[in-house]
Amino acid sequence: MKNEHILSLLEETAERFGVKLRYEDLKKGEVDTQGGSFVLKGERYIFIHKNLPLLEKVRVLEEELAKLDFSDVYIIPEVRDRLEKIKTTI
């Protein structure tokens, strides 16, 4: 599966969770991060640095989604397998 397709599937998965996904310039000033997630006023957000290479965007999004409880959510098998592998390492 191509990385573009994987990223698209991960973005769809984030949407299923109700996660607001944003690609922003996260390397301004003193901030130096590739991305992360947080909850603000009951809404979950994942921010990813917009200038990361495609493979790094996939990695950050996979890591953040793997932190969520996806046991009761339908996720296509290819994505579920990837998230379960990552979940065991974080």
Domain range for 12 is: 3-87
Which uninterrupted H or E stretch holds 2? Answer: none
Neighbours of 40 (CB within 10 A): 8
For position 36, what pLDDT does the model report? 94
Please give the average pLDDT of every successive group of 10 residues along the chain, which has 90 residues: 94 95 88 90 96 97 95 91 92
What span, in angstroms and rounded, lies between the C-alpha atoms of 80 and 1? Answer: 14
61: CATH = 3.30.2010
Q: How far separated are the first and last CA of the chain, in Å rounded?
A: 24
Instruction: Report whether 47 contacts 35 (CB < 8 A).
Output: yes
Bridge partners, 47 (sequence order): 22, 36
Considering its fold, how many domains does the chain have in total? 1
The confidence score (pLDDT) of residue 71 equals 87
